[in-house]
Chains A and B, each alone.
Chain A
Amino acid sequence: MSLVTRPPGPVVIDIENITKDYVMGEEIVRALRGVTLQIRRNEYLAIMGPSGSGKSTLMNMLGCLDTPSSGRYEFNGRNVADMDDDELAAIRNREIGFVFQTFNLLPRATSLRNVELPLIYAGVDPETREERAMQALIDVGLGDRINHKPNELSGGQRQRVAIARALVNNPSIILADEPTGNLDSKTGDEIMLLLEDLYQLGNTVILVTHERDIAAHARRTIHLRDGLVEMDHAGFVPQLDAVVAS
């Protein structure tokens, strides 16, 4: 597979020395101990690390689901570290497309309604909403499944609906948390191909995974360990990765 690496654009995410502490009973867990990171538009990035490395915490920060305890976080030049819940919700709505391991579709809603959801929260009028949701579903190859409910779709199709939902509001980044974790390897490969396509179309994709095969699709890999960036390198270096993983 000869993959084209696209030239990165301007900085989207600018993180400087962020920390995150959790209070767990008596103990203070220092999940992030000072992470500095820049992500540019149209990068394809994988965040790796063993469990407890702060991977999930960093993902929550990047996805604006949580705010850091200290440090600077700028998203498209806007400081999100001090934003309140509703401001963060607006950022998530417009700037971030989430793809979850468990798909997280609304079980009783059709594919179309599921994809429309971010547009409802963005205040898009019903006609445009339907049009754009339909287009997003066509883009992920589900143009013939718009009126199906999640339980009428296969796992791969469900994840495609979720990806369509992540794309529909034209976000700055697509944040995929173990996107193939609940899929068999063949379906997983299809999903990874779809993400590659999205990257080639100019999207910024951030993968969070502990699987090296999956991370291998990215053009840049970040390894976390004990709340710190252990390694940040372009491309995927199997040997190096093997060293890190061991």
Chain B
Amino acid sequence: MKRFLYELEESWKIAAAQMRSNMTRSTLTALGVIIGIVAVTLMGTAIGGISMGFDKSMSVLGDDVLYVTQWPWKPVDDWWNYRDRKKIQTEYAETINRMIAATPNSNLIVAVPTSSLMRSIKYGGNAVDNVFTLGTTSDFALTSTIDCKEGRFFNEIESREGAQVVVIGYDVADALFPSENSIGKFVLINGQLFKVIGVNSRQGTFLGLFSWDSMVALPLAAFNKYFSSKSASDVRPNGATVESDVRVKMKDKNKLAEAKDELTGIMRRVRGLSPEKKEDFSINEQQAFKSTLDPVKNTIAVAGLFITGLSLFVGAIGIMNITFVSVKERTKEIGTRKALGARRRTILLQFLIESTALCLLGGFIGLIIAYVMCIGLGKAFPSFPIQFSFGLVIAGMIVSVLTGLISGFAPAWTASRLDPVAALRYE
């Protein structure tokens, strides 16, 4: 055991001396590993970022909220079966709330109606077009995970009376009020004045998925009064017609199935469906959405890591090559060491440590470069979520060591098997 430690120490010394004396060669070889590690690490951060972005976007939906909609949240082949479904009415929310109240031990808490439309918002000379404008009730605050940075969400009285108040997203506030406080100011939506009573804290956007930052929310009563399209047959471009759905908060997110069953029952009664009829509405939850996005996410991850992994593989081949060269040119030294009593294991260890040290050095430099690049990218593209984690550093180091061990093994094995007589005679 002690001898093993001494041999290990000796091997480290040799590896260090070897790298020092072959500076150019070592640097060039390590460069392959550096590039590989940078590529893999950046891909790792990107994947982490994408994953985080998905999760963050998803969190807007809330993991304890069910959505009653016309269309299901998953790709459908038989779209014609959904097209002619009756629209979801915001009035359903009241009916559902009554039924929840009448049900003992209900798994549901509250139903919240929402209607949405794309609208322009103006303040002074500033204007933002195509803002996702949401009409809802004060209960919406219960179903949303978004907090107000300043001000507050509208209250029950404002909600019931249809007060002309609005809560605006971070980006909207930023565009309309670049240099002043927005609370208490009046903005113009569809020719109507609304008083800003709250600004949401920044959520960040990702791949155009739902973000609170570019939304505004106002009382449903006011929404219906001013924005509702004249008739359902009014054909307008996408986003110009009002989309309505009802979101229902569950009591316990672990009782998803029960809550869904209960809500389905309620909705069937609301729609007046006889038992043999199929449902003409969809009940969705975050999970369903996630399960359609996860394969996409995983495919990106696997493909990305595979492609960047190739560059690391090229780096590994470089290491293997240089270790073979090292073994070849030090054949006589290997012979001498064997004559002096080095065992096969000792020689194997020596060259493995040499290749591993080179990889570890490359990996270390690669991680530093990747870290700096991450900071740079974060500064250049603040909206792109980048996640450089401690776990990634550990993973990078482990990958480096493994690369060194794997790529160094064949040459080291060759060296350890050399016949001492032949090795000593080698010139």
Q: Which residues of A pack against B, CB within 8 Å?
A: 60, 63, 65-66, 85-86, 89-90, 92-94, 98, 100, 104, 106, 108-109, 117-118, 120-126, 165, 169
Stretch from B192-200, B342-350, B376-384, B393-401 at the A interface: B342-350
- Cβ-closest chain B residue relative to A84: B344
Contact status A90-B339, CB under 8 Å:
no
B390 within 8 A of A: no
B420 within 8 A of A: yes
Contact status A120-B6, CB under 8 Å:
yes
| Residues B53-85 near A (CB distance < 8 A) | none
Contact status B3-A123, CB under 8 Å:
yes
Contact status A65-B339, CB under 8 Å:
yes
Between A and B, 22 residue pairs with Cβ closer than 8 Å are: A60-B421, A63-B339, A65-B339, A65-B420, A65-B421, A65-B424, A66-B421, A86-B345, A89-B341, A89-B343, A89-B344, A92-B339, A104-B333, A104-B336, A106-B336, A117-B337, A117-B340, A121-B7, A121-B343, A121-B346, A123-B3, A125-B2
Contact status A85-B340, CB under 8 Å:
no
Contact status A89-B338, CB under 8 Å:
yes
Q: What does the 1/0 interface line of B312-347 toward A look like (CB < 8 Å)? A: 000000000000000000001101111111111110
Contact status A89-B333, CB under 8 Å:
no
CA distance A105 to B333 in the complex (A): 8
| Given A100-B336, A104-B424, A121-B346: 7 more A-B contacts, CB < 8 Å | A60-B421, A63-B339, A90-B341, A92-B338, A104-B332, A118-B341, A121-B341
Query: Which listed residue (A86, A98, A108, A126) contacts B340, Cβ 8 A?
Result: A98
B224 CB to nearest chain A CB (Å):
85
- Return chain A residues, CB-CB under 8 Å to B3: 121-123
- Return chain A residues, CB-CB under 8 Å to B333: 104, 106
- Cβ-closest chain B residue relative to A126: B6
A71 CB to nearest chain B CB (Å):
18
B28 within 8 A of A: no
B274 within 8 A of A: no
B270 within 8 A of A: no
Contact status B343-A85, CB under 8 Å:
yes
B231 within 8 A of A: no
6 tightest A-B CB contacts, nearest first? A93-B341, A123-B3, A121-B341, A104-B336, A89-B343, A86-B343
Q: A121-B3, A122-B3 are in contact. Are A92 and B341 (CB under 8 A)?
A: yes
Contact status A118-B421, CB under 8 Å:
no
B16 CB to nearest chain A CB (Å):
10
CA distance A91 to B277 in the complex (A): 91
CA distance A4 to B341 in the complex (A): 33
| Residues B11-70 near A (CB distance < 8 A) | 17, 21
Contact status B340-A93, CB under 8 Å:
yes
Query: Which listed residue (A94, A108, A126) contacts B341, Cβ 8 A?
Result: A94
Q: A104-B336, A106-B336 are in contact. Are A89 and B342 (CB under 8 A)?
A: yes
Contact status B6-A123, CB under 8 Å:
yes
B10 within 8 A of A: yes
Query: Which listed residue (B340, B344, B424) contacts A165, Cβ 8 A?
Result: B340
- Return chain A residues, CB-CB under 8 Å to B6: 120, 123-126
- Return chain A residues, CB-CB under 8 Å to B335: 104
A89 CB to nearest chain B CB (Å):
5
CA distance A66 to B424 in the complex (A): 12
CA distance A86 to B17 in the complex (A): 26
- Return chain A residues, CB-CB under 8 Å to B420: 65-66
CA distance A65 to B344 in the complex (A): 13
A11 CB to nearest chain B CB (Å):
23
B53 CB to nearest chain A CB (Å):
52
CA distance A108 to B19 in the complex (A): 12
- Cβ-closest chain A residue relative to B345: A86
- Return chain B residues, CB-CB under 8 Å to A122: 3, 341
Among B7, B341, B419, the one with the most A-chain Cβ atoms within 10 Å of its Cβ is: B341
Q: A66-B421, A85-B344, A108-B17 are in contact. Are A120 and B7 (CB under 8 A)?
A: yes
- Return chain B residues, CB-CB under 8 Å to A125: 2, 6
- Return chain B residues, CB-CB under 8 Å to A65: 338-339, 420-421, 424
